[in-house]
Structure 1
């Protein structure tokens, strides 16, 4: 088959067709007269529409010149409001940015909206050390600040859509960025940012000047601040657990909106609002309390394998009240770590955003755990500091542990006599309880002595569950196989995801589970030996045997995604407790001596009953009296 080629006739044909098309386009284009007529017609339509929508009084309206890209911020009109105008062609009416920075943070502010569009922390990396990705609390349009302006003719303007004019100055080492939304030479809305050296906190002032003739000042301006919190840690589930919206209100009260979907709170007299992530926070503070605040939080993680970018969506709406026709608020922004010492140094109660626990649990963390661990970690590596910290806590608690074991030993010695009373008064439980209490009193044994030491240790255990997840200093600190003590210590990656457990295997939780298994096996055996045989006791014994296996499994599952520091603490704590128990049993507590002492106590004048024992005795006697009365009836 021959190749097809263009011949002379084909070339001439294509040339003629092209020429005809050009001629047709030329003949069909409108003349200058027609263009002018069409333009005049459009202008007439625009003027007609303006006439329809314009109010009786002349006013000032906001608009954007979409053809030029410059901001036609307000049209210049004359009337009862006087001569008041925005510049129609401000040089700042472009989407450009201004950056101020120090050694700790870099802040980028946009001309459009005048708010912060980038807040980068220079000394902290995302996910793990060496990743090269710095922590950015604000970036890629994840945060907005907007003030709604209500004009006197009931129009609504949004500052996020309008262009501010930036001016950068320096006073000493302080960098000052002034952003003005101008209405004239001396009429404007102003945001002023002041960044000091070596500081995570900026001064942030919002004030107006000369706008009382344009704005409706009968009600406050509505300021809205929102932020979608970026994930910055290795475990998104662990980070999400400690991300929440916290605030201070009513002169010293602290609270949070709560975890979950679409959580909302309306609070009064708010002095600061914190969008807290696990180890970082964005906080807005005000010297003049916000009269009210509408706060909103929702979680953005539905599927942990897919939702891996953001953790929470936060939003706050607050009113900015007018004073003599103008707004003037002195505020601050904080963009930095949720580190207890750093936040406390500002002396603005910002340390309250860290969940250290309420009441006695918080006191233990503030006055024992934080100072002690801070001291140790300033001299030795963090992993070693956790071990030494745990040893010191357990040594301090050892007298309580000793009393608990001593009480168990005494109850164990008395058990045969208690069982005899049980057999003797088998048909009269009330009498049996009375005689048992008399035996305790005569022998000088307090049945509650073993419970009280255990109760005393509970606050310290709970405090540790609050302390380690909040310890910023553990972030990205390695120890043995754990590359980050603030996150899980993965030793194996699973090819599938197990509900509640995760898609990896952590080693410290396994060690902690083994330790707690042996600890419970030892203590449950002693408790069963010490406890008197009573009705229902076989079921109780069976339950305790089940707990020996259930507790380690629960720890293994739930601690798999927890921080390695907490798992290490629990492993060492249970290991030390086991060691203390062995030493006390073998070298401190002598059951033969205890038995001899009890027998000697029986021969002496019975000791005065304690309040608890006396109360129990009275209750039993009253029960017996009522029972006897019922029998007579």
Structure 2
């Protein structure tokens, strides 16, 4: 084996490399001036770190700030305690992330900071521009519990960090948001979401916080919401956007449409922030002791496109039981649909404005079931027409009575005129003889008024029904895209006061039909009025109404739901047809005249009302005569 010898070239190479390294070290050594500058910078850094440490002991530090520093966990916790006290543990484990869960109807996003819903999307519905319906989005809502602690702090849950946990069991999804003092001591928001349900269980409870919560300080639950615009007409949607609440075991009230309004209630079981066709409701299993509600109109100018319509707020006190919070509630985020709300059997149908008293009953037990039945197999526009025909046929008997009374008064008109002429200087005597003649003939103006009054509840109930019918929303018919909104056949380059910047066809058709209907009815009414002293005030008013009513219809309904205008158009067309049939084929004036003459021959027994009226007129006449004698 050949013995290795040291290569002279290698030796020279190592010497050269060593020499170069030594030269570089010598060349790069700091000068005395550089050494002084480094020493000064080192002293400044030490002083700065010392100052920062002192500031950290008094400065309010957020979890986000701490996560960006290199401080130890113990120092982080010490700093957080300066602000959050017992809840520093929760802040130290804070996560700014969001928690998202979904059902077939809802997509819910929970904000870990505050533990509340930061986004609610209704998956089955869109707005007038085909955008998804969001009831909560982009910080338009806030949910907060304000409470005091035993270490003299006032905290808000919306500023604190909750730890989320999501569990699923079949169709049930449970979201638990815990605000922790420790692993065994916490405040929890528990949400229970079911498939196929807009109602979500919600519980606020605490565990082990009896030594943290200050029982002498009020604990308030605050809920705020700015309502998004979802409909084509801002004014129309805003008219039906309001706060509704139930109190004292079933009573309900609302805040109305003022620019700003406020109200309170005792034993409150729910509050609804209603947005015409959609609503957000907070319900309590056991009533809140009191509730304070506020509403503010955010639409300053309806000509300007707007994002929000109203701002709502509700405040409730929470009570401690054994030093702990335990309140079972529910959230409802969904349509303002009578059928859906009514199935919960919690009086939520009052959120839908169907009218008070008899008007609401007619809608609940007659029109809603009838329309649901027709809509189950007919297009909704056709269902409105069929429903209108059925209602008009049902009321045709009332109309017959009304026109029969008008026909009798028209036949008696010559005799009534003669009475007025005979006693033109004694109006009281003229009224007495007029009443006596009408009684004998079996004709009375009241007989024509009563049928009109009978129709009034039906008329008003339908006026409430169509704007509240969720089934009409985004349903088309002929040229109408949405029966729950106005139809448009032309856009105007300017806005007409009280009318708008568009032309709707159904209000025009309804106005024309109303004009001809009133021309038929007021013509007979005016013909039956006595004319001895010229046209009386009543007849003049009828003539003015014949022109004023169609104009009012044209302006008032231009921005209303086209389904309502369709109803009035069809209703008045049918009324015109019924009038023509009654006048031309059913009523025979000769027979009516002969019947009146027979009635006049028979002794007519006055009813109690007629006797009372005759006595009052007679007493008034005697008093008048006595006063005239005194003057003489």
* TM-score, normalising length: structure 1: 0.89
Map of 1:37 onto structure 2? 47
Q: Within 2, Cα distance between the matches of 1:46 and 1:598?
A: 103
> Could you tell me how far 1:151 is from its partner in structure 2?
1.6
The answer (yes or no) to whether the contact 1:73–1:162 under 8 Å persists in 2 is: no
Measure the CA separation in 1 of the matches of 2:367 and 2:483: 17
> Is residue 140 of structure 1 aligned with residue 169 of structure 2?
no
CA contact (8 A) 1:64 1:73 kept: no
Corresponding residue number in structure 2 for 1:320: 318
- Does residue 608 of structure 1 match 2:605? yes
CA displacement 1:371-416 (0-9 Å, x = unmatched): 1111111110000000000000000000000000000000000010
C-alpha distance 540-46 of structure 1, shift in aligned 2 (>3 A):
same
Contact kept? 1:182, 1:189, Cα under 8 Å: yes
Name the stretch that deviates more: 585-594 or 259-268. Answer: 259-268
Q: 1: CA distance between counterparts of 2:187 and 2:247?
A: 27
Match of 1:123 in 2: 124
Distance 1:287 1:63 in 2: 39
* Within-5 A mapping of 1:88-99: 90-91=92-93, 93-99=94-100
Q: Deviations over 1:234-279 (max 9, x none)?
A: 1111111100000000110001011122211121111001000010
Alpha-carbon offset, residue 152 of structure 1? 2.2
Q: Does 1:374 align with 2:384?
A: no
- C-alpha spacing 1:183/1:399, structure 2 compared with 1 (3 Å): same
Structure 2 portions without partners, runs of 5+ = 1-32
Alpha-carbon contact 2:228-2:308 (below 8 Å) kept:
yes
Describe the SS at the equivalent of 1:490.
Answer: coil
Tell me, in whole angstroms, the C-alpha distance in 2 between the residues paired with 1:564 and 1:611: 47
d(CA) in 2 for partners of 1:89, 1:34: 33
Q: Give the aligned partner of residue 5 of structure 1.
A: none
Contact 1:360 1:459 in 2 (8 A): yes
* Residue equivalent to 2:164: 166
Are 2:89 and 1:87 equivalent residues in the alignment? yes
Shift of the 602–29 alpha-carbon distance from structure 1 to 2, 3 Å rule, reads farther
Query: Is the Cα contact below 8 Å between 1:75 and 1:85 reproduced in 2?
Result: no
Q: What's the CA shift for 1:74?
A: 8.0
Partner of 1:264: 262
Moved over 4 A (4+): 26-30, 69-78, 88-91
Change in 2 beyond 3 A, CA 1:249/1:182: same
Q: C-alpha offsets along residues 468-527 of structure 1, whole Å, 9 cap, x if unaligned? A: 000000000000000000000101111112221111100000000000011111111100
CA separation of 1:77/1:141 partners in 2, compared to 1, >3 Å: closer, same or farther? Answer: closer
Distance across 2 between alignment mates of 1:530 and 1:169? 77
**Structure 2 CA distance, aligned partners of 1:176 and 1:306?**
42
When residues 97 and 425 of structure 1 are mapped into structure 2, their CA distance, relative to the original with a 3 A threshold, is: same
1:548 Cα deviation after fit: 1.4
Which string of whole-angstrom CA distances, capped at 9 and with x for unpartnered residues, describes residues 404-436 of structure 1? 000000000001001111111111111111111
User: Hey, what does 1:251 align to over in structure 2?
Assistant: 249
Secondary structure of the 2:256 match is coil
- CA–CA separation in structure 2 for the residues paired with 1:68 and 1:582: 85
Residue 617 of structure 2: aligned partner: 620
Query: Is the CA contact 2:529–2:539 (under 8 Å) kept in the aligned structure 1?
Result: no
Deviation per residue, 1:318-355 (Å, 9 max, x gap): 11111110110000000000000000011111111111
Question: In structure 2, what is the equivalent of residue 593 of structure 1?
Answer: 591
- Offset, 1:214: 1.8
| 1:462-477 equivalent positions in 2, closer than 5 A | 462-477=460-475
In structure 2, the residue matched to 1:397 is 395
Tell me the equivalent position of 2:382: 384
Q: C-alpha separation between the residues in 1 aligned to 2:214 and 2:344? A: 37
Alignment correspondent of 1:15: none
Cα distance in 1 between the residues matched to 2:443 and 2:421:
21
1:162-214 residue CA offsets vs partner (Å, 9 max, x unmatched): 11000111233210000000001211111000001110011000011111212
Q: 2:40 & 2:528 partners in 1: Cα distance?
A: 107
5 Å matches for 1:187-226? 187-226=185-224
Aligned with 2:125: secondary structure? strand
Q: RMSD value over aligned CA atoms?
A: 2.2
1: CA distance, partners of 2:442 / 2:213? 82
Aligned to 2:352: 354
For the residue of structure 1 that corresponds to 2:405, the secondary structure is helix
Question: Which of the numbers 221, 231, 237 marks the counterpart of 1:239?
Answer: 237
Corresponding position of 2:289: 291
Shift of 1:161: 1.1
**Contact in 2 for aligned 1:300/1:307 (Cα 8 Å):** no
Name the SS for the 1:450 alignment partner.
helix
Tell me the equivalent position of 1:3. Answer: none
Output one character per residue of 1:115-158: Cα deviation in whole Å (capped at 9) or x when no partner: 00111111111115xx2x21110111111101112122332111
Q: Sort the Cα spacing of 1:73 and 1:124 in 2 relative to 1 into closer, same or farther, 3 A.
A: farther
| SS state at 2:65 partner | coil
Structure of greater Rg = 2
Number of residue equivalences: 589
Q: Does 1:157 align with 2:165?
A: no
> 2: CA distance between counterparts of 1:176 and 1:368?
40
Which residue pairs with 2:22 in the alignment?
Answer: none
- 8 Å contact 1:290–1:318 — kept in the other structure? yes
- What is the deviation of 1:443? 1.4
- Where is the helix percentage greater, Structure 1 or Structure 2? 2
Distance 1:505 1:85 in 2: 60
1:222 deviation in Å? 1.0
**CA-to-partner distance for each residue in 1:422-473, whole Å, 9 max, x for gaps?**
1111111111111111111221223310000001111111111100000000
Q: Write the distance in 2 (CA, Å) between the matches of 1:356 and 1:306.
A: 30
Once the two structures are TM-superposed, the CA of residue 29 in structure 1 deviates from its matched residue by: 9.9
